[in-house]
Chains A and B, each alone.
Chain A
Amino acid sequence: MNPTGESNRSDPGPQSANASADVVPQRRAQQDPAWVRWFLTLAAVFVLTIFVVVPVIAVFYEAFSRGARVYFENLLDPDTRHAVLLTLTVAPCAVLFNLVFGVAAAWAIARFRFRGRTLLITMIDIPFSISPVVVGLMFVLLFGLGGFFGPWLRSHGIQILFSTPGLILATTFVTLPFVARELIPVMEAIGPDEELAALSLGANGRQIFWRITLPNIRWGLLYGVILCNARAMGEFGAVYVVSGHISGQTNTMPLHIEQLFQGFNSPGAFAVASVLTMLAVVTLLLKVFVERKARQTVLEAAKE
């Protein structure tokens, strides 16, 4: 019997609950009854299984439903190969641009105080909240034939829409916040002390960045790049609008999946989907690893 149980006797509250509280040691105030734990754990595992585990298994099951030979034939199809190549061109470009942007924005926001700083942080979030289709539409309005820069671009023979530059632009827009959003809190947590020390010892800006800042933020940076890359490779809506879906020319992997699916080539669609799923799984593994490293750097900085 524990004393808290005794003092409750006068309470007109739920008697049955008090009865069980008597048996539970005081230190376990946070502990739920066993049946609640079992029920909730099973429910959570069930939800994750239905929503995540089964779909991932289904992707590979469907991809191999006609046998391994058909699977590899589907992957080696020229249009599919082109889609893979295009995705591997567009995504790294978008990531690179947003990497440079993220570092610049994080340096400005985490190391200086200026008017409109909060507004700037909010502006970086804008791409997260706009529907990808609207993003694509905006680029069509700018670079399409009837668009603002359309006539000028055409007279100079520059193609942006329905070609790789348009895909890169749209993807860069959609993935713009990822690196900056990761870096700002990391740089704020680490603080400017080491950089200030370097400055007082006579280092110039470049030396400070390459020798102090970059080594400090490298894991946070990598984390942002991984997230950015995953989204860039999977981007659909914005790219769908600007690409014109020309098979073998402007189809990225997600667009190619849609085209195969519309053409009732389900095994083909799932074969491409299986590649993207593997990429997603690799992304997750990298993420777990890098996340741990990133947390360590911030904790170490906090200790010092």
Chain B
Amino acid sequence: MVNRRVLPGYRLSITFTLAYLSVLVLIPLAACLVTAGSLSWSQFVAAVWTPRARAAYSLTFGAAFAAATISTILGLLIAWVLVRYDFPLKRFFDSLVDLPFALPTAVAGLVFSTLYVPNGWFGQFLVPLGIEGAYSRLGIVIVLVFIGFPFVVRTVQPVLESLDKESEEASACLGASRWQTFRRILLPALYPALITGFALSFARALGEYGSVIFVSGNMPFRTEIAPVLIVAKLEEFNYVEATAMAVVLLSFSFVMLIVINLLERWSKLDR
């Protein structure tokens, strides 16, 4: 669009950008890959595929998946209510959605762990029912939902606002019930945004550490997520095994990064 020779500062800005990214991102990434590369394939597999590590991966993925699914449903509900309905304190609740972005994760973990213990505000009702929301897998999911649902709300909200009235009116004119209109007209239009929101909260949940260590109890095989295991390896000065596991997490991060990018492009095309 703009010829690069017209406005000044192309060379300066692109050089600075690339240098900054190289020093801060690419060199550390390379260090990680080189260290992992010093292992032979069988050593690498032995490091990343222990029973304890497998338990940690499946918990990390399972909890992240469960949390992202719940976040998607709750996020759609909140976005729908905020866009379509009027109620007192709507503005207030709208800005509350951003609080999990602004609140340090350590604070979230700290407060969620005390709310769900047996004598906590929620725990005193839930624990007698057999719902253990602290120091359990459920606790991990709860705190990951807290961290993940704003992503869904903030991706769905603008799309829901920009939907045209005509298709809904047409659907109503043709005799569809409100529920049919929602399922056949609105939901398909929201799919790209919903899936993007799901992917964003899933990616965030996969790497989350700060809040989880407070609520999970970090018991190996039961409530230990992969990042916690990496830290445990580091504290034993077992850098090579820690790096090998980090490479596994890194590869999933990159897959998610690519998926999210494709999804965002897809939802832009769809609009």
Asked if A53 lies at the interface with its beta carbon under 8 angstroms from chain B, I say: yes
Residues of A within 8 A of B20 (CB): 101, 104
Q: Is the CB of A45 within 8 A of B87?
A: yes
Of all chain B residues, the one with the shortest Cβ separation from A288 is B95
Asked if B24 lies at the interface with its beta carbon under 8 angstroms from chain A, I say: yes
Asked if A155 lies at the interface with its beta carbon under 8 angstroms from chain B, I say: no
* Interface membership of chain A positions 245-265, coded 1 if the CB is closer than 8 angstroms to chain B and 0 otherwise: 000000001110110010000
Instruction: Give the distance in Å from the alpha carbon of A48 to the alpha carbon of B207 in the complex.
Output: 24
Residues of A within 8 A of B214 (CB): 258, 261
Interface centre among B100, B106, B173 (most CB of A within 10 A): B106
Which residues of chain B from 128 to 184 have any CB-CB distance to chain A below 8 Å in the complex? Answer: 145-146, 149, 165, 168-169, 171-180
Which residues of chain B from 55 to 108 have any CB-CB distance to chain A below 8 Å in the complex? Answer: 74, 77-78, 80-82, 84-85, 87, 93, 95-108
Asked if B115 lies at the interface with its beta carbon under 8 angstroms from chain A, I say: yes
* Interface membership of chain A positions 101-130, coded 1 if the CB is closer than 8 angstroms to chain B and 0 otherwise: 100110110011110000010111111111
Summarize A's interface: helix, strand, loop or mixed.
Answer: helix
Asked if B8 lies at the interface with its beta carbon under 8 angstroms from chain A, I say: yes
Q: Is the CB of B13 within 8 A of A104?
A: yes
Of all chain A residues, the one with the shortest Cβ separation from B60 is A131
Residues of B within 8 A of A55 (CB): 108, 111-112, 115, 146
Tell me the A residues contacting B by CB distance below 8 Å: 4, 7-8, 11, 13-14, 17-18, 21, 26, 29-30, 32-33, 36-37, 40-41, 43-45, 47-48, 50-56, 58-59, 62, 100-101, 104-105, 107-108, 111-114, 120, 122-135, 137-142, 144, 146-148, 169, 172-173, 176, 192, 195-196, 199, 204-205, 208-209, 227, 230-231, 233-237, 240-241, 253-255, 257-258, 261, 266, 269-270, 273, 276-277, 280-281, 283-284, 287-288
Tell me the B residues contacting A by CB distance below 8 Å: 1-2, 4, 6-10, 12-14, 16-18, 20-21, 24-25, 27-29, 31-32, 34-35, 74, 77-78, 80-82, 84-85, 87, 93, 95-108, 110-112, 114-115, 121-122, 145-146, 149, 165, 168-169, 171-180, 203, 206-210, 213-214, 226-227, 230-231, 234, 239, 242-243, 246, 249-250, 253-254, 256-257, 260-261
Other A-B pairs, 4, CB within 8 Å; known A4-B175, A284-B96: A52-B146, A129-B256, A133-B246, A237-B210
A-B contacts, 29 listed (Cβ < 8 Å): A29-B173, A44-B93, A45-B81, A45-B87, A51-B100, A58-B115, A104-B13, A122-B257, A126-B25, A128-B203, A129-B203, A130-B207, A130-B249, A132-B227, A133-B230, A133-B246, A135-B28, A137-B242, A173-B24, A205-B8, A209-B9, A227-B101, A235-B210, A236-B106, A237-B227, A276-B106, A280-B102, A281-B99, A287-B102
